[in-house]
Amino acid sequence: MTTDCLFCRMASGEIPVAKVHEDDLVFAIRDINPQAPTHVLVLPVAHIGSAAELTEADAPLLGRLFSVAAKIAQQDGLEGGWRLVSNVGPDGGQTVPHLHMHLLGGRSMHWPPG
Ligand code: AMP
Ligand code: ZN
What is the model's pLDDT at position 60?
Answer: 98
Q: Which residue has the higher pLDDT, 1 or 107?
A: 107
**E strand or H helix that includes residue 105:** strand 101-105
- How far, in Å, from the CA of 72 to the mean position of ligand 1? 18
Quickly count: other Cβ atoms within 10 Å of residue 56's Cβ: 6
Ligand 1 neighbour 18 (Cβ under 6 A): no
Per domain, the residue ranges of the chain are: 6-105
Alpha helices in the chain (DSSP H): 6-12, 59-75, 89-92
Closest CA to 101 of 31, 13, 37, 53: 31
- Indicate the pTM of the whole model: 0.97
Query: Mean pLDDT across the stretch 83-96?
Result: 98
Contact 44, 61 (CB under 8 A): yes
Homologous superfamily in CATH for domain 6-105: HIT-like (3.30.428.10)
Determine if the peptide bond prior to 44 is cis (ω within 30°). no
Ligand 1 neighbour 87 (Cβ under 6 A): yes
100 is catalytic: yes
